[in-house]
Structure 1
Amino acid sequence: MAELYCRGCGALIQHEDKTLPGYIQEGLTEGEENKQLLCQRCFRLKHYSEVITKTLSNVEYLSVINKISKENALIVKIVDIFDFTGSFVPAIKRLTGNEDVLLVGNKMDLLPKNVKSERILNWLKQMLAHEGFTVLDSILISAKYGQNMDRLMELILKHKGKRNVYIVGCTNVGKSKIVNQILRRYLGYPTDVITVSTNPGTTIGLIGFPLLDGTMIYDTPGVINKHQYTHYLTRPSYKITVPKKEIKPLAFQLNEGQTLFFGGLARLDVINGETGDKVNVITYFANTLNIHRTKTQRADELYETKLYSLLTPPFNEEEDVPKWVFHEFKIRDNLKYDIVFSGLGFVTIRAPFYLRAHAPFVVGIYARPAII
């Protein structure tokens, strides 16, 4: 019998182990060789939003990526423009062994509508130059709403020649949504073919589809960046924390000795505004995440007594919150910066300032030139 693959996650169909990707009850695949099958995991995810957890080990992931490294292909690298720092992963080029990269900044729909695309694209190019990362082209899109998909397809066709195309990136940057958009718009597929979920790590193996010229376009498993907060959240906390619609920025004027809590997930202390004036802080987080202001001298006590009640998420003690650490930022010029909590959000502040940012030790916290 020919090998069958799940059309939702790309896993090889198997009947032996319910806990592994690709499981379908024995007998259900008889006579189905020419049909597009969904494994039990993808069926439950699609119809009931029920998640059967399975992530790729490093060995499994590298075996998938190894296929790309042996091929002269066009790499379409997807980043989450809302979390560029956390989703960039420069090692993608090293893993694939391929120099031809088209960079796609997805989720433009999350940024405020008054932000000009040209500004974001210029910022993106500045960040690429800082990383020493060269690309064939770069583009901003919203896979959710199909914004700029025609231009993306033009760039893919322009740069790929007779080569296959691989869509790569971190978990939950929207790779599968982009492939589904391409399949519907340009190849005539009627509905979503690849499983799309709000849970990271949906795609298990390579999922390939033929393009009109006989080459293939592949969705790949997401790289897990362990510095992103999303990998340490339970599903209820994840739903509150990850933005799904346009961010509504909040403005705070903070004095020296004041603190902002972002739920019970992170905090920002103003140690010194350097000029003695109030520090203007603009926050960019999911609209569903509660932001609470307090005095820094009360912050530790507030966290101890109000975590799971005033400061949520997390919602209960069963959510294992890793130990917090802090990072200090002293910047003395007069430029605007973002302080980024990877996978959670960011704040924008004009220097000079002296700040202390707290989060679990596994979460990346960075300063960068302001995106907005």
Structure 2
Amino acid sequence: MSGLLPLFLSTDPKQRLRIQRSLLAASVFIACIALQVYACWAGLMARSEAETLSGLIVANVVFWYALLRSGLNLRCRDPALTLPQIIAALTIIVGAYATTGAAHGAVMMLLTLVLVFGIFNLKPRAARFASTYTVVAMGVAILYKIQTDPANYPLRLEVVHFALVIAIVPTVSSLAAQLSSLRARLQTQKNELAHALTRIQILATRDELTGLVNRRHMIEVINQHQKRLQRSGHHRFCLALLDIDHFKRINDTHGHNVGDEVLRHFAQVAQQALRETDVLARWGGEEFLVLLNDTMPEQAEAGIERIREAMADAQVAPSVPELRLTFSAGLTAYADDEPLDHCVERADRALYQAKAAGRNRTVLHAATPRLAAPRQTATER
């Protein structure tokens, strides 16, 4: 059975749910057919009318099942086809009301049952349309039967029936509209919550100004690479600290807005020059940390020089198009099992040497780790 069920109901979860709901609604028609069988047995309904109506009911169920199972419903705005199915069902119920003779009062409850099936899916406008259609169709059927079959449809009884339709059907429609509004509000809140969660995740891992990985997340990334190296024994990587030369002068001369432009465009140019497997992070201020993945120091140095070449002709501040940038870089390879801060300190010492040697250059520091010299401030550099 498990092999036939997906074939019968579809393997797509959403389509399967739509088909199941449609078939569940068919239970209303089973009750309608059962009522017709009883009406025929009790002599309250002609057999020919019962056979015709039952045939229409079966054809209606098969039609909607075939439409949903074929996937043609996916071309519609509402793939569940809720309103068309409800209108078709209501039409059949009204037909049953008009043909079941003295037993027609039992059909009344089926009208409400049909509307209840759509109460969780109908939008307010569709719910109002279904309600109006039900009241009008029932009113026409009742007027017709009062004129043509007053024995089974006496005026005093049909007035009561119609009053019940007017009282109950719009109430169900109103409830459907309220539920629809509630669903819309819940969906809006869900979307807002998802957006806020995404925003929180971005803020937790990304630098807001440049969009790069932030310092905290970069440490996590490097830790993951450390573990890979420990497991594989050959997954080498290098770290490079980049510092924009004379950035304080840019801020003092052109203002902090231009400084922000410089940081953003520096990040974009550097990111494009690196390989997809490399990771660039905003380390702090005008400093950036690069993780050059699966590479030796000489290859890593070539990667840093690609950034330098790209930066030479890059426009890093649209508001000051003539402005050009250089940067100093300290590069080092990660040594097996060393603490991360030792590797970063070694890259920092290499960066300090690059600045002391005249800036706009890369210094490779391959010495064994040792205690770091006191960190120089950006102003001192």
Structure with the larger strand share: 1
Larger RCO, structure (CA 8 Å, separation 6 or more):
1
| CA radius of gyration, larger in | 2
User: TM over 0.5, yes or no?
Assistant: no
Structure with the larger helix share: 2
